[in-house]
Amino acid sequence: MVKLGTYSAKKGKAGFFGSFTFKLLKIFPVPGMEVLLKKGFIPYQKNIELANTPRHANVLLVCGPLPETAEKAAAVAFAQMPRPRMLVFLDMEKAEFLPKPDVVINAEDLKVLTKKLCPAEIYAENPTVFQPDFLTKAVSDKEEDDGHQEHHHDSHETHEDHQGHQHENGHHEHEEHGGHEHGQNDGKQHHDDHKEHAHNGHDHSGGGHNREGHDQGDHNHDGHDHGGGGFMSMVMMTKDQPRGTDGLQMDRNKVRFGPFHPGLPGGLQIEMILAGDTVVQAEVEKGLFDQTSFQHFPEEPEDLPGWLADFDPFQKEMYRELALLALAGATGSDFNLNVEKLEQERVRNLFLWLLKFQKTLGDWEMERHVFRLWQDFQQNALSPEKFESFRKKLENRWYPKTRLRRLGKIPELNLHHFSGPLAKAAGNASDLRRHLSGYECFKNFNLNDNNAWGWLQVRLEEIHRSLQILNNQPSAEKKDWASKIQKMHFSGTQNSCAKLETSRGIFILNLELKDGKIKKVDLKRPSTVLSALVPQLTENYELADALVAIAALDISPWEINA
């Protein structure tokens, strides 16, 4: 049983229904559903549902540790949740910008979450307002900026053309007209009476100026403002705005999606400028989760694999094997990749992407189907044949195929920048696994479908081939990676460039060693290039299609440098 803290509890005293409020756990996961799934979370179970926004949630489930920027975003999400609410930490004890958690759990508790989070007391006589300093300062700064903008607008308004006007609380009296009132019903009469009257310096407020029979081409608007305190038409409100591709003039708004948006990779944040529901500009915000500084790499070669493995919770095996491959290349040592672990990680990541992508598409049926396959894979019960049956069902769905083929088209001149699914879908890539030990029977494959549907087809084929590799993979002798490094000989100046093919594309690690010490580390990751494609793939698309195109790229926030 849980007693909610004062930051979470609702004001009042427990009554008869006090312990029944949390019978349905509406969970908002941080940084995203993928992290929880990887740790064993089962979202489709009785009395549990995933909330799409913190305002609809009663449980904030935070899987840590989180970098500072992401932790602040989680604090904002917690502040938005209605009371009673519950703060739950998974694999972390405390956080700098969040209050003390109501419950701390581990991965095993995810299987019995409803029992673990059933509270006994959800009320408190004196609940505490959650006001972290950084959030209070941000709100204060915003209000101050808005006040400055309003003051700037008022103090710089030109009055030279407003002779005879008295401005009070947004109302204008025209003293030279004998104090005319511009009512809604007498606007036309007012216009007729003043056909011969010079209009310099007048303010005909929107609510009192009828434009019926009004020839704006012949009307002198010097000093006019037809946007006063009354009614304003859409034409008047957007007269100074740029035109969109459809020719309409719309207000443009800057908005952010993420970092915990349910339809985007967990941790990814996109800043957009919208004209209505059309994307004018979109850009990935960098450095939210990738906090790595390549200026502080380890000097000892045996520390490199573990250091790199901490970069990304979803690709630990890949980073570790990439480091070992680079060290082996520098010393001229023989090295056999752990194909089994690499392919298991590849399939796992592709399933997590596919599950989130079906959610973004809004295909609830396929989302549930993908999750069942994910569970089968986790239990080593997924065969290539069973997956092939699912793939045929997915390929026969007409709507997603039609929609995705309109999205994600990359100009041929830019294709050479990309690797992985995007390049393979366009018929422009060769898989590096063909040249690595352990993949002797691997055959290259390409499509001729340069769009988001092609990317999906490539990833489905990747899963199928990886399952075949795992089925045919002989049991290898398990060796500790530290023992592999001990057999390598480091001396003098040694350089190396190692490459590995992942579910997103090619990772490239360059090493420079001198006298057995690492002197330089340089890492190139595919999400850096993928994120640069976002502005091009979203411009002038409707918001829903733009989000689908971004989700189809499979960008990892752990791979994007600040």
Could you count the other beta carbons within 10 Å of the beta carbon of residue 377? Answer: 19
Residue type, 461: E
User: Is 480 or 131 the better-scoring residue by pLDDT?
Assistant: 131
* Pair 119, 1: CB distance under 8 Å: yes
Residue 456, pLDDT > 50, answer yes
User: Is 291 or 100 the better-scoring residue by pLDDT?
Assistant: 100
User: Is 351 or 209 the better-scoring residue by pLDDT?
Assistant: 351
Is 294-559 in the same CATH topology as 2-124?
no
Query: What is the value of pTM for the model shown?
Result: 0.80
214 pairs with which residues across the strands?
Answer: none
Domain parsing of the chain, residue ranges: 2-124, 294-559
CATH topology of domain 2-124: Rossmann fold (3.40.50)
In the 3-class helix/strand/coil scheme, how is 442-466 assigned residue by residue? CCCCCCCCCCHHHHHHHHHHHHHHH
Q: Residue 293 has what pLDDT?
A: 62
The span from the CA of 67 to the CA of 267, in Å, is 11
Q: Residue 120 has what pLDDT?
A: 60
Average pLDDT over residues 3-7: 86
Residue 475, pLDDT > 80, answer no
Q: Which of 27-31, 203-207, 494-498, 511-515 has the lowest mean pLDDT?
A: 203-207
Q: Which of 179-188, 305-314, 338-347, 546-555 has the lowest mean pLDDT?
A: 179-188
Banded pLDDT at 178 (limits 50, 70, 90): very low
Nearest residue to 547 (alpha-carbon basis) of 434, 407, 393, 412: 407
The stretches of 55-105 forming alpha helices (DSSP H) are 68-80
Banded pLDDT at 286 (limits 50, 70, 90): confident
The span from the CA of 344 to the CA of 268, in Å, is 24
212: its two tokens: 């019926």
Q: Residue 196 has what pLDDT?
A: 38
DSSP strands (E only) in 71-118? 86-90, 103-105
* CA angle (275, 280, 284) in 5-degree steps: 125
User: Is 445 or 211 the better-scoring residue by pLDDT?
Assistant: 445
- Express as a percent the part of the chain with pLDDT over 90: 53
452: its two tokens: 């988001």
Estimate the crossing angle of helix 364-378 against helix 384-395, to 10 degrees: 170
The span from the CA of 214 to the CA of 191, in Å, is 8
User: Is 175 or 415 the better-scoring residue by pLDDT?
Assistant: 415
30 pairs with which residues across the strands?
Answer: 62
Nearest residue to 284 (alpha-carbon basis) of 505, 545, 453, 527: 527
Q: What is the pLDDT of residues 125-170, one digit of tens each?
A: 889 999 888 888 877 777 777 665 555 544 443 333 433 343 333 3
* CA angle (137, 142, 146) in 5-degree steps: 150
Average pLDDT over residues 522-529: 93
Nearest residue to 263 (alpha-carbon basis) of 555, 487, 517: 555
* Pair 80, 106: CB distance under 8 Å: no
Average pLDDT over residues 371-386: 94
- Express as a percent the part of the chain with pLDDT over 70: 77
Q: Residue 271 has what pLDDT?
A: 95
Tell me the residue length of the chain.
562
Residue 284, pLDDT > 70, answer yes
Q: The dihedral of CA 352, 354, 356, 358: what is its sign?
A: negative
Residue 430, pLDDT > 90, answer no
Q: What is the pLDDT of residues 92-123, one digit of tens each?
A: 888 999 999 999 999 999 988 888 887 667 88
Banded pLDDT at 359 (limits 50, 70, 90): very high
Pairing mode, strands 252-257 and 119-121: unpaired
The span from the CA of 244 to the CA of 151, in Å, is 31
* Pair 475, 399: CB distance under 8 Å: no
Q: Is the domain 294-559 a CATH 1.10.645.10 member?
A: yes
The stretches of 332-451 forming alpha helices (DSSP H) are 339-361, 364-378, 384-395, 398-404, 421-425
Q: What is the pLDDT of residues 75-84, one digit of tens each?
A: 999 999 999 9
